[in-house]
Structure formats: structure tokens, C-alpha cells
Amino acid sequence: MGPWLDAVVLGIPRGGMVVAAQVARVLGLRLDVVVAAKVCSPGSPEFAIGAVAADGEVLVNADSGFSAEEVRAFAGPAHAKATRSLAVFRAGSAPLELTRGAAIVVDDGLATGFTALAAVEYIRRCGATLVFLAVPVAAQGAAALIEPHVDQLVALEIPVQFASVGQFYARFGQTEDAEVVALLAEAANRPAGGATSL
């Protein structure tokens, strides 16, 4: 299996954890969580001016019209939210070891790509030597943003017309924190290398 023998699948909560759990189950790989949060424009909560990882490192959207200093100043609430979420999801468990290993970061889709990029760069800082990002769907701009930062981007669809991630799902409901915790617990109790079929 080469570099995949000790690979870790890392889901970006919350929806990305549902996809990541399936990837880990089918490939027989370990599952963990990687948390990053969008830093929103003060006047437009849907507009990402950047993203922040769990360690507080801030990624700046250079096209947002905000300076790096301004984005960092607005990142506090997003970082606090990411830290709280990670504590809930881990429920006291230590993160899986990533040093010198391969990591497959999984999300439910890429709209801007900034949250996923913050997660990918965080995983690099944790010591992963190979980082892949796998998503069912990605906007063209998000794919272009991400590709230079990963060893490979795997996206089932990169459509020309993209309004939101949800438009590509028959059901796109809210994933609750409890479901993320349950998925991690189930994966932790699964025998190592226990690949399954869908």
C-alpha cells in the first residue's frame, strides 16, 4: 500500500465528517477530524475574508478588500468557535499521529475553498508529508485555489455552473455535533485495516 498504509482520513466538520467517515470505512483507514473556520466580513456573514485553523493561524483572502491585519483582527470569534468545536468532537481523545504520514482531508464540497485550504495547511504544519484533498464537488475557483497546495485534489465534479454545495445533494441537512462525535467513536472502535464495500 506504500504511503497509504498509515494514512489518516480527516473530515472537515460538520458535513465533511459524514463523507470522510465513508471514505475511511471503505479504504480501511483511520479517521480523525480537522477543524477550521471561515472568517466572515463584518457586514456580510456569508462572505469569507479568510479562514482560521485550530492553532490560530489565519489564512487571508487577498481578494476580499481587507488587509491581513484586519482579517486577523476579525478572526478571534472564528478561532474560538473552532477551538470549542474541536474540544466537543474529540471528547478528550488525542489527535492521531500525522508526522511523516499521508493525510486525506475530506469535505462535503468546496465553495470558496478557504476553510479547506486552512485545514490543509494546518495538516502540513502537523507534519503530514503527503496531503490529499477529496471532495464530491468543487467550484472552479476553489479548485484552482486549492490545487497548488495539495499533492492531489480529487473532486468528482468541478462544474461550470456553481451556486452552492447544497445544490449538488438530494439531501443536504444540518449535521449535528453529536453525529460527528458518533462517527469518530465508531471509527475508533473499528478493527485496523477493516476495509468495507459500499
Q: What CATH number is associated with residue 101?
A: 3.40.50.2020
15 within a domain of the structure (yes/no): yes
Residue 34 has pLDDT above 90, yes or no: yes
Domain contains 48: no
- The predicted pLDDT at position 4 comes to 58
Q: Is residue 56 part of a domain?
A: no
Give the pLDDT band (50/70/90) at residue 5: low
Domain with 146, as residue range(s), is 2-35+89-188
- Across the range 101-121, mean pLDDT stands at 94
- Asked whether residue 83 is assigned to any structural domain, the reply reads no
Mean pLDDT value across residues 16-35: 94
What is the number of structural domains in the chain? 1
Please report whether residue 53 resides in a domain.
no
The predicted pLDDT at position 197 comes to 46
Residue 198, pLDDT score? 45
Asked whether residue 116 is domain-assigned, the answer is yes
Least reliable range by pLDDT among 36-45, 67-76, 106-115, 132-141: 36-45
Average pLDDT for residues 25-49, to the nearest whole number?
89
Interval 125-174: pLDDT, tens:
999 999 999 999 999 999 999 999 999 999 999 999 998 898 998 888 88
The answer to whether the beta carbons of residues 40 and 48 sit under 8 Å apart is yes
Does the pLDDT of residue 177 top 60, yes or no?
yes
100 pLDDT band, cuts 50/70/90, is: confident
- Please check the confidence at residue 195 and state whether its pLDDT lies above 60: no
Tell me whether residue 121 is in a domain: yes
Averaged pLDDT for residues 74-86: 92
* Average pLDDT value for residue range 88-110: 88
How does residue 43 score in pLDDT terms, banded at 50, 70 and 90? confident
Would you say residue 62 lies in a domain? no
